[in-house]
Chains A and B, each alone.
Chain A
Amino acid sequence: MENLKLEGSAKTPTVQFDAASGTLELKGRSIPENSVEFYKPLNDWIDTYGGSPKEITTVDIKLEYFNTSSSKCILDLFKQLEGLNGKGTEVKVNWYFEEDDEDMEEAGEDYQAIINIPFKMIEVEEI
Protein backbone atom coordinates (compact mmCIF):
# COMPACT_ATOMS: atom_id res chain seq x y z
CA MET A 1 0.00 0.00 0.00
CA GLU A 2 0.99 3.65 -0.42
CA ASN A 3 2.78 5.52 2.33
CA LEU A 4 1.20 8.61 3.80
CA LYS A 5 3.48 11.63 3.75
CA LEU A 6 2.35 15.12 4.65
CA GLU A 7 4.63 18.12 4.97
CA GLY A 8 4.27 19.97 8.24
CA SER A 9 2.89 23.52 8.31
CA ALA A 10 2.57 26.31 10.89
CA LYS A 11 -0.55 24.58 12.17
CA THR A 12 -0.18 20.92 11.25
CA PRO A 13 2.40 18.24 11.99
CA THR A 14 4.62 16.34 9.59
CA VAL A 15 3.07 12.94 8.95
CA GLN A 16 5.11 9.93 7.90
CA PHE A 17 3.17 6.69 7.88
CA ASP A 18 5.26 3.92 6.36
CA ALA A 19 3.41 0.69 5.63
CA ALA A 20 6.52 -1.32 4.67
CA SER A 21 8.30 -0.72 7.98
CA GLY A 22 5.18 -0.36 10.12
CA THR A 23 6.27 3.00 11.52
CA LEU A 24 3.84 5.85 11.99
CA GLU A 25 5.27 9.23 12.92
CA LEU A 26 3.65 12.56 13.85
CA LYS A 27 6.11 15.40 14.35
CA GLY A 28 5.82 19.12 15.03
CA ARG A 29 2.73 20.94 16.16
CA SER A 30 -0.92 20.27 15.70
CA ILE A 31 -3.14 23.33 16.07
CA PRO A 32 -5.56 23.37 13.11
CA GLU A 33 -8.94 25.03 13.69
CA ASN A 34 -10.65 22.00 12.28
CA SER A 35 -8.65 19.00 13.36
CA VAL A 36 -11.25 16.43 12.22
CA GLU A 37 -10.61 17.46 8.63
CA PHE A 38 -6.86 17.06 9.08
CA TYR A 39 -6.95 13.71 10.89
CA LYS A 40 -9.52 11.99 8.64
CA PRO A 41 -6.96 10.84 6.01
CA LEU A 42 -4.75 9.52 8.82
CA ASN A 43 -7.62 7.42 10.18
CA ASP A 44 -8.40 6.18 6.67
CA TRP A 45 -4.78 5.16 6.12
CA ILE A 46 -4.68 3.22 9.41
CA ASP A 47 -7.92 1.46 8.43
CA THR A 48 -6.32 0.20 5.22
CA TYR A 49 -3.04 -0.61 6.98
CA GLY A 50 -4.98 -2.69 9.52
CA GLY A 51 -5.94 -5.05 6.68
CA SER A 52 -2.34 -6.32 6.39
CA PRO A 53 -0.19 -4.81 9.11
CA LYS A 54 3.46 -5.46 9.94
CA GLU A 55 4.24 -7.76 12.84
CA ILE A 56 5.24 -4.74 14.89
CA THR A 57 3.71 -1.30 14.50
CA THR A 58 5.71 1.54 16.01
CA VAL A 59 3.99 4.85 16.61
CA ASP A 60 6.31 7.82 17.21
CA ILE A 61 4.56 10.89 18.58
CA LYS A 62 6.96 13.84 18.54
CA LEU A 63 4.67 16.78 19.12
CA GLU A 64 5.88 19.99 20.69
CA TYR A 65 2.33 21.20 21.11
CA PHE A 66 -1.25 20.33 20.18
CA ASN A 67 -4.54 22.13 20.71
CA THR A 68 -7.56 20.66 22.49
CA SER A 69 -9.34 19.88 19.25
CA SER A 70 -6.36 17.79 18.12
CA SER A 71 -6.17 16.06 21.50
CA LYS A 72 -9.50 14.40 20.77
CA CYS A 73 -8.38 13.33 17.29
CA ILE A 74 -5.13 11.93 18.68
CA LEU A 75 -7.13 9.89 21.19
CA ASP A 76 -9.31 8.55 18.36
CA LEU A 77 -6.16 7.61 16.48
CA PHE A 78 -4.86 5.69 19.51
CA LYS A 79 -8.25 3.97 19.92
CA GLN A 80 -8.06 2.87 16.32
CA LEU A 81 -4.55 1.46 16.92
CA GLU A 82 -5.74 -0.20 20.13
CA GLY A 83 -8.27 -2.03 17.96
CA LEU A 84 -5.48 -3.35 15.72
CA ASN A 85 -3.29 -4.44 18.60
CA GLY A 86 -3.14 -8.22 18.83
CA LYS A 87 -4.80 -8.63 15.43
CA GLY A 88 -1.74 -9.51 13.38
CA THR A 89 0.34 -6.73 14.83
CA GLU A 90 1.79 -5.59 18.08
CA VAL A 91 1.38 -1.82 18.54
CA LYS A 92 3.87 0.23 20.52
CA VAL A 93 3.75 3.97 21.15
CA ASN A 94 6.81 6.13 21.75
CA TRP A 95 5.72 9.43 23.30
CA TYR A 96 8.42 12.09 22.98
CA PHE A 97 8.47 15.25 25.06
CA GLU A 98 10.97 18.05 25.57
CA GLU A 99 12.94 18.42 28.79
CA ASP A 100 10.94 20.20 31.50
CA ASP A 101 7.78 20.13 29.42
CA GLU A 102 5.52 18.74 32.14
CA ASP A 103 2.41 19.56 30.13
CA MET A 104 3.39 17.27 27.27
CA GLU A 105 4.62 14.63 29.68
CA GLU A 106 1.27 14.69 31.52
CA ALA A 107 -0.61 14.57 28.22
CA GLY A 108 1.29 11.40 27.32
CA GLU A 109 0.57 9.86 30.72
CA ASP A 110 -3.12 10.65 30.34
CA TYR A 111 -3.30 8.85 26.99
CA GLN A 112 -1.37 5.99 28.50
CA ALA A 113 -3.98 5.72 31.26
CA ILE A 114 -6.89 5.66 28.78
CA ILE A 115 -5.42 3.49 26.02
CA ASN A 116 -4.54 -0.14 26.39
CA ILE A 117 -1.32 -0.28 24.36
CA PRO A 118 2.26 -0.05 25.67
CA PHE A 119 3.58 3.50 25.92
CA LYS A 120 7.18 4.49 26.29
CA MET A 121 7.82 8.03 27.54
CA ILE A 122 10.94 9.49 26.00
CA GLU A 123 12.44 12.77 27.19
CA VAL A 124 14.53 14.63 24.62
CA GLU A 125 16.34 17.96 24.61
CA GLU A 126 14.50 19.24 21.59
CA ILE A 127 11.82 17.77 19.38
Chain B
Amino acid sequence: MSLRNIYELYQTMERDNTMLSFKGVVTSDLLTSVLQIMESKLDHVEKSPKTKKKVYNVLVECLQNLYHHNEEIGETEGLDFLFSKSALLMISKNSDHYEVKTGNYIIKDKSKELKRKLDDINALDKEGLRELYKSILNDGEMSDKGTAGLGMIDIARKSGNKLEYDFLPVDETYDFFCLNVKID
Protein backbone atom coordinates (compact mmCIF):
# COMPACT_ATOMS: atom_id res chain seq x y z
CA MET B 1 0.00 0.00 0.00
CA SER B 2 1.45 3.33 -1.00
CA LEU B 3 1.35 6.27 1.39
CA ARG B 4 -1.19 8.04 -0.79
CA ASN B 5 -3.57 5.14 -0.20
CA ILE B 6 -3.63 5.97 3.48
CA TYR B 7 -5.22 9.31 2.68
CA GLU B 8 -7.62 7.69 0.22
CA LEU B 9 -8.60 5.18 2.82
CA TYR B 10 -9.18 8.01 5.29
CA GLN B 11 -11.31 9.90 2.78
CA THR B 12 -13.39 6.85 2.00
CA MET B 13 -14.06 6.25 5.67
CA GLU B 14 -14.82 9.94 6.19
CA ARG B 15 -17.25 9.95 3.26
CA ASP B 16 -19.00 6.85 4.56
CA ASN B 17 -19.28 8.37 8.06
CA THR B 18 -17.46 5.42 9.55
CA MET B 19 -17.66 5.28 13.34
CA LEU B 20 -15.56 2.19 13.72
CA SER B 21 -14.03 -0.36 11.43
CA PHE B 22 -12.20 -3.56 12.16
CA LYS B 23 -10.66 -6.35 10.13
CA GLY B 24 -9.30 -9.43 11.82
CA VAL B 25 -10.21 -12.34 14.00
CA VAL B 26 -13.14 -11.64 16.32
CA THR B 27 -12.10 -12.97 19.73
CA SER B 28 -14.00 -12.67 22.98
CA ASP B 29 -11.73 -9.81 24.14
CA LEU B 30 -12.07 -7.96 20.85
CA LEU B 31 -15.83 -8.30 21.01
CA THR B 32 -15.88 -6.85 24.52
CA SER B 33 -13.66 -3.90 23.53
CA VAL B 34 -15.66 -3.04 20.42
CA LEU B 35 -18.89 -3.09 22.41
CA GLN B 36 -17.37 -0.83 25.07
CA ILE B 37 -16.07 1.66 22.49
CA MET B 38 -19.34 1.69 20.59
CA GLU B 39 -21.42 2.09 23.71
CA SER B 40 -19.54 5.23 24.73
CA LYS B 41 -19.59 6.56 21.15
CA LEU B 42 -23.33 6.03 20.96
CA ASP B 43 -23.74 7.82 24.28
CA HIS B 44 -22.11 10.86 22.65
CA VAL B 45 -23.78 10.93 19.26
CA GLU B 46 -27.22 9.38 19.77
CA LYS B 47 -29.90 11.16 21.79
CA SER B 48 -32.67 8.60 21.44
CA PRO B 49 -32.25 5.81 24.01
CA LYS B 50 -34.43 3.65 21.80
CA THR B 51 -32.16 3.95 18.74
CA LYS B 52 -29.09 3.57 20.94
CA LYS B 53 -30.41 0.26 22.25
CA LYS B 54 -31.36 -1.02 18.82
CA VAL B 55 -27.94 -0.24 17.33
CA TYR B 56 -26.25 -1.84 20.33
CA ASN B 57 -28.46 -4.91 20.08
CA VAL B 58 -27.71 -5.37 16.38
CA LEU B 59 -24.00 -4.96 17.09
CA VAL B 60 -24.03 -7.58 19.83
CA GLU B 61 -25.70 -10.14 17.57
CA CYS B 62 -23.50 -9.32 14.56
CA LEU B 63 -20.32 -9.60 16.64
CA GLN B 64 -21.45 -12.83 18.26
CA ASN B 65 -22.31 -14.25 14.85
CA LEU B 66 -18.77 -13.48 13.70
CA TYR B 67 -17.33 -14.89 16.92
CA HIS B 68 -19.24 -18.18 16.84
CA HIS B 69 -18.72 -18.49 13.13
CA ASN B 70 -14.97 -18.76 13.75
CA GLU B 71 -15.47 -21.95 15.68
CA GLU B 72 -17.15 -23.43 12.62
CA ILE B 73 -14.29 -22.72 10.25
CA GLY B 74 -11.89 -25.04 12.07
CA GLU B 75 -8.73 -26.27 10.42
CA THR B 76 -10.04 -26.65 6.92
CA GLU B 77 -8.04 -26.99 3.77
CA GLY B 78 -7.88 -24.30 1.11
CA LEU B 79 -7.46 -20.80 2.41
CA ASP B 80 -4.87 -20.09 5.01
CA PHE B 81 -6.32 -20.89 8.43
CA LEU B 82 -6.05 -17.47 10.03
CA PHE B 83 -7.02 -15.73 6.84
CA SER B 84 -10.28 -17.65 6.64
CA LYS B 85 -11.12 -16.76 10.24
CA SER B 86 -10.63 -13.09 9.63
CA ALA B 87 -13.73 -10.91 9.35
CA LEU B 88 -14.73 -7.34 8.62
CA LEU B 89 -16.93 -5.13 10.75
CA MET B 90 -17.90 -1.53 9.94
CA ILE B 91 -20.32 0.76 11.70
CA SER B 92 -21.39 4.05 10.18
CA LYS B 93 -23.83 6.77 11.07
CA ASN B 94 -25.62 8.61 8.30
CA SER B 95 -28.00 11.50 8.74
CA ASP B 96 -31.07 9.39 9.38
CA HIS B 97 -29.85 5.87 9.97
CA TYR B 98 -27.00 3.64 11.13
CA GLU B 99 -25.41 0.86 9.13
CA VAL B 100 -23.63 -2.20 10.43
CA LYS B 101 -21.69 -4.08 7.76
CA THR B 102 -20.04 -7.42 8.26
CA GLY B 103 -18.02 -9.67 5.97
CA ASN B 104 -16.69 -13.14 6.60
CA TYR B 105 -15.66 -16.32 4.85
CA ILE B 106 -18.21 -19.08 4.90
CA ILE B 107 -18.00 -22.70 3.77
CA LYS B 108 -20.07 -23.12 0.60
CA ASP B 109 -22.30 -25.84 2.11
CA LYS B 110 -23.38 -23.37 4.77
CA SER B 111 -24.06 -20.57 2.29
CA LYS B 112 -27.18 -22.23 0.90
CA GLU B 113 -28.63 -22.86 4.33
CA LEU B 114 -27.95 -19.27 5.44
CA LYS B 115 -29.30 -17.81 2.19
CA ARG B 116 -32.56 -19.73 2.65
CA LYS B 117 -32.83 -18.48 6.22
CA LEU B 118 -32.22 -14.87 5.20
CA ASP B 119 -34.77 -15.07 2.38
CA ASP B 120 -37.34 -16.50 4.81
CA ILE B 121 -36.64 -13.64 7.21
CA ASN B 122 -36.86 -11.00 4.49
CA ALA B 123 -40.24 -12.35 3.37
CA LEU B 124 -41.79 -11.61 6.77
CA ASP B 125 -43.24 -8.42 8.21
CA LYS B 126 -42.82 -7.18 11.79
CA GLU B 127 -45.50 -9.44 13.26
CA GLY B 128 -44.34 -12.43 11.20
CA LEU B 129 -40.80 -12.02 12.51
CA ARG B 130 -42.09 -11.91 16.07
CA GLU B 131 -44.03 -15.14 15.54
CA LEU B 132 -41.02 -16.86 13.93
CA TYR B 133 -38.81 -15.75 16.82
CA LYS B 134 -41.29 -17.06 19.35
CA SER B 135 -41.68 -20.42 17.65
CA ILE B 136 -37.92 -21.02 17.32
CA LEU B 137 -37.41 -19.83 20.90
CA ASN B 138 -39.98 -22.33 22.12
CA ASP B 139 -39.19 -25.34 19.89
CA GLY B 140 -35.61 -24.83 18.76
CA GLU B 141 -32.72 -26.68 20.29
CA MET B 142 -29.72 -24.82 21.61
CA SER B 143 -26.40 -25.73 20.03
CA ASP B 144 -23.38 -26.71 22.13
CA LYS B 145 -21.99 -23.23 21.59
CA GLY B 146 -25.07 -21.74 23.19
CA THR B 147 -26.35 -20.28 19.94
CA ALA B 148 -30.06 -20.54 19.42
CA GLY B 149 -30.46 -19.77 15.70
CA LEU B 150 -32.28 -16.58 16.63
CA GLY B 151 -29.54 -14.05 15.86
CA MET B 152 -30.51 -13.09 12.30
CA ILE B 153 -34.21 -12.89 13.17
CA ASP B 154 -33.38 -10.59 16.06
CA ILE B 155 -31.15 -8.43 13.85
CA ALA B 156 -34.00 -8.10 11.33
CA ARG B 157 -36.50 -7.25 14.07
CA LYS B 158 -34.32 -4.58 15.64
CA SER B 159 -33.24 -3.04 12.33
CA GLY B 160 -36.77 -2.59 11.01
CA ASN B 161 -35.42 -3.05 7.47
CA LYS B 162 -34.79 -5.93 5.07
CA LEU B 163 -31.38 -7.55 5.48
CA GLU B 164 -29.12 -6.79 2.51
CA TYR B 165 -26.72 -9.62 1.77
CA ASP B 166 -24.61 -11.32 -0.85
CA PHE B 167 -22.43 -14.42 -1.14
CA LEU B 168 -19.34 -13.86 -3.31
CA PRO B 169 -17.59 -16.99 -4.56
CA VAL B 170 -13.93 -17.14 -3.44
CA ASP B 171 -12.71 -20.63 -4.34
CA GLU B 172 -14.15 -24.16 -4.40
CA THR B 173 -14.50 -24.27 -0.60
CA TYR B 174 -15.40 -20.74 0.45
CA ASP B 175 -17.76 -17.90 -0.28
CA PHE B 176 -17.46 -14.45 1.23
CA PHE B 177 -20.64 -13.49 3.06
CA CYS B 178 -21.51 -9.78 3.02
CA LEU B 179 -24.22 -8.38 5.25
CA ASN B 180 -25.50 -4.83 5.54
CA VAL B 181 -27.93 -3.98 8.32
CA LYS B 182 -29.69 -0.63 8.19
CA ILE B 183 -31.13 0.67 11.44
CA ASP B 184 -33.54 3.62 11.26
Chain A interfacial positions (CB closer than 8 Å to B)? 10-11, 31-37, 64-65, 67-69, 71-73, 75, 98, 100-101, 103, 106, 110, 113-114
- The answer on a CB contact under 8 Å between B138 and A114 is yes
Give Cα distance in the complex from A113 to B56, angstroms: 26
- Which chain B residues border A33 with CB–CB below 8 Å? 28, 31, 64, 67-68, 146
- Which chain A residues border B148 with CB–CB below 8 Å? 68-69, 71-72
- Which chain B residues border A73 with CB–CB below 8 Å? 142, 146
Min CB–CB distance B121 → chain A (angstroms):
13
Which has the most chain A C-beta neighbours within 10 Å: B35, B49, B137, B157? B137
Give Cα distance in the complex from A12 to B142, angstroms: 19
Which has the most chain B C-beta neighbours within 10 Å: A33, A37, A65, A98? A33
- Which chain A residues border B134 with CB–CB below 8 Å? 110, 113-114
Q: A67-B57, A72-B142 are in contact. List 5 more A-B contacts (CB 8 A).
A: A10-B35, A33-B67, A69-B148, A75-B137, A100-B50
Name the one of A65, A68, A106, A113 contacting B151, with C-beta atoms under 8 angstroms. A68
- The answer on a CB contact under 8 Å between A10 and B138 is no
- The answer on a CB contact under 8 Å between A72 and B158 is no
Name the one of B60, B140, B142 contacting A31, with C-beta atoms under 8 angstroms. B60
Q: Does B53 contact A (CB under 8 A)?
A: yes
Interface string of B56-80 (1 = CB under 8 A from A): 1100110010011000000000000
- The answer on a CB contact under 8 Å between A68 and B32 is no
- Which chain A residues border B146 with CB–CB below 8 Å? 32-37, 69, 73
- The answer on a CB contact under 8 Å between A10 and B32 is yes
- Which chain A residues border B112 with CB–CB below 8 Å? none
Give Cα distance in the complex from A76 to B38, angstroms: 31
25 contacts between A and B (CB under 8 A): A11-B32, A31-B35, A31-B60, A31-B64, A33-B31, A35-B146, A65-B53, A67-B61, A68-B61, A68-B147, A69-B148, A71-B148, A72-B137, A72-B140, A72-B148, A73-B146, A100-B50, A101-B50, A103-B57, A103-B157, A103-B158, A106-B130, A110-B130, A110-B134, A114-B137
